[in-house]
Amino acid sequence: MGSYRFILSGGGTGGHIYPAIAIADELKRRHPDAEILFVGAKDRMEMEKVPQAGYEIEGLWITGLQRKLSFKNLMFPFKLMSSLMKAGKVIKKFRPHAVIGTGGFASGPTLRVAAGKGIPCVLQEQNSYAGMTNKLLKDKVAKICVAYDHMDRFFPSDKIVKTGNPVRGDLVESFKDRSEARSHFGLDADKSTLLILGGSLGARRINQLVAENLQFFEELDIQLVWQCGKLYIEEYKKYTSDSVKVVEFVNRMDYAYSAADTIISRAGAGSVSELCIVGKPVLFIPSPNVAEDHQTKNAQALVAKNAAVMIREPSLDEQFQNVFSELQKNKWKQKELSDNIKNLALPNATSDIVDEIMKLVNNENP
């Protein structure tokens, strides 16, 4: 076979875009002469992020259905027809050997057209509760790569392969010396350290919680690396001190993870997969503002295996101090959570997903 050609489609959020880029990078690493094309939704973040990663992208005129009646919903049939036609033209011209969907609006029309033409298609589902697009595509694709158990609730069991979610390669390969990591943030090398992660934009409720509890953390003799996010840095940077490091974004996650004794985080699929590899005690505060409440379901999957602790946003005021101080003081509980979350790590996910793609392309065990 000459050089391979692959289409990757997924987007709308970083949770769909990052895995697609990681898969593309691994395909390119194995097959340097492979041609790779992304298909995304016009006006969504993939149109910026994918070219930054060095790949070409075509945009479809597509959005999701709104939950309430709106003008956008009236436009949906036209957008869908437009996207199916554009996807058809892209696929006819590019002639891919396989098409990979990582969720998000654009992957629907792209994989539907590709499957209809007999092109091998693979889905990658990041969450413990399957997304709408992937559920609609389940009968059209050959393989579905998942990160959680019990996904046969959503997909045909004979198509499921448990691979895990792609995570940053540098994270898998490098953990820093703890004192070196703490000095990177200007922290005390010997003091208990809490890392707070609210995502790149930030999490309003987590930021409010931390600000309300600065005195509480001081009483517990804890220092903080507090990633408050782009939307909130102006509001919260005033809290920076010797023991509280407020940052918009953490550029060196390897240092941040190495510095931490405990972590407070949202429960997006990518974060959960990374935290399994990091293997530190985690308190999840899932975002309630996501489709199908999937962050809560992601966190619950770990809590059920005694691999993390979770508090839902509405319960923070009454539960946070008790739950956190119990975790902070109970070293045995910290070790148990740490051991259990490490056991769930799937650090070879990207490579395993590409193995599945190449088996299909080369007609092995389809």
Summarize the annotated binding site for UDP-N-acetyl-alpha-D-glucosamine as residue ranges: 13-15, 127, 168, 200, 295
Binding-site residue positions? 13-15, 127, 168, 200, 295
The rounded distance, in Å, linking the Cα atoms of 205 and 209 is 6
Instruction: Provide the angle, in degrees to the nearest 10, between the axes of the packed helices 316-329 and 204-212.
Output: 70
Cα 331 versus chain centre, distance:
29
The rounded distance, in Å, linking the Cα atoms of 137 and 109 is 9
**160: which DSSP letter?**
E
Q: In what order do the strands lie in the sheet with 262-265?
A: 244-247, 222-227, 192-197, 262-265, 282-284, 309-310
* Helix, strand, coil in percent for the chain, rounding step 5: 50, 15, 35
Tokens for 350, please give them: 């990207």
Tokens for 312, please give them: 């839902």
The answer to whether 288 and 296 have CB atoms below 8 angstroms apart is yes
